[in-house]
Amino acid sequence: MNPVSFLSICRMAIRPKTLMAALSPVMIGTAMAFGDGVSHFPTAFLCLAGALLIQIGTNLANDYFDFKKGADTHERLGPTRVTQAGLISPGIIKWAFILTFALAALISTRLIERGGWPILVIGVLSIVSGILYTAGPWALGYMGLGDLFVLIFFGPVAVAGTYYVQSHEINNAVILAGLAPGLISVGILTINNLRDKDSDQSSGKKTLAVRFGKSFAQMEYLIAILTAAVIPVFIYIYIEDHIWILACVIISLLAVPAFKTVLTKSDGPSLNLALAFTGELLFIYSLLFSLGWVL
């Protein structure tokens, strides 16, 4: 295998388009700490590295366990999964996610030294949940609990954890701010589950789209994105400060093409484009909120 092909396969395995879900809450938590005068950038960098590694580890574990359980087949409409496609052996993927989580744990030790037991709890639960998302007989993603996991760990936990480990304090505005990236990440997962509804049903993966149907998933997406868009309004009403965060409401308009796709399309390519676009919306939201908070 030539180096270019190997790097291309590795890129497919780590799923770079999903990494925005890990980066965004760290960006928001750091911006809020900076705007409040309590930031610590070396710690913020470690938070980012740890979050990215946990996301990559989760993606690799997802690739491995979905293949083992038969959820990833040739009928899948989403991007190529390297284990199912035979590009990397299951054994190598297994060791890859173990080593990735081990590196995340190593980075977390420095954060634990700074933040104490709350960061230890967050780190352990994040890694364990990343594995159990698809592993074991009670896998979160297979029971329809993936949406709740994503909302919590890519939302308030990530934002508040990032803020706390830098500042050694927390407040309600930070927790509320974490709901928005969590909700947009739920939107990303919802499109994924809507696209894979038929193959998931065949493999026994009972996502919310499988349990409650296409219309439920469509409404879940709309509600997640629109609710995220108005979170800054509630924060501003609560704290009466940082008015520029209200610019985030614009994502409700930017999301209209994705709304149309989710409501009217069911083919894989269209939904894949909507999924990627929602990832871009997450970045736009996080950037606008971060800038709005520090201005």
What tens digit of pLDDT does each residue of 204-250 get? 889 999 999 999 999 999 999 999 999 999 999 999 999 999 999 99
Q: Which of left, alpha, beta for 241 (phi over 0: left; psi -120 to 50: alpha)?
A: beta
Report the pLDDT value the prediction gives residue 73, as an integer from 0 to 100. 58
Cβ–Cβ < 8 Å for 188, 240: no
Quick one: average pLDDT of 129-143? 86
Above 80 in pLDDT, residue 58? yes
Q: How far is CA 236 from the centre of its chain?
A: 25
Amino acid found at 218: Q
- Angle among Cα 281, 285, 291 to the nearest 5 degrees reads 145
Q: From CA 285, how far away is CA 182, in angstroms rounded?
A: 12
Per-residue tokens: 40: 């610590």
Report the pLDDT value the prediction gives residue 74, as an integer from 0 to 100. 58
Task: Give the chain's domain count.
Answer: 1
pLDDT tens digits, 79-100: 677 787 778 888 899 999 999 9
Question: Residue 91: how many CA atoms within 13 Å on its side-chain side?
Answer: 0
pLDDT tens digits, 269-283: 999 999 999 999 999
pLDDT tens digits, 149-184: 999 999 999 999 999 999 999 999 999 999 999 999
Query: What is the residue range of 58's domain?
Result: 3-294
Q: From CA 208, how far away is CA 187, in angstroms rounded?
A: 12
Q: Rounded to two decimals, what is the model's pTM?
A: 0.92
**CA nearest neighbour of 146 among 196, 96, 103:** 196
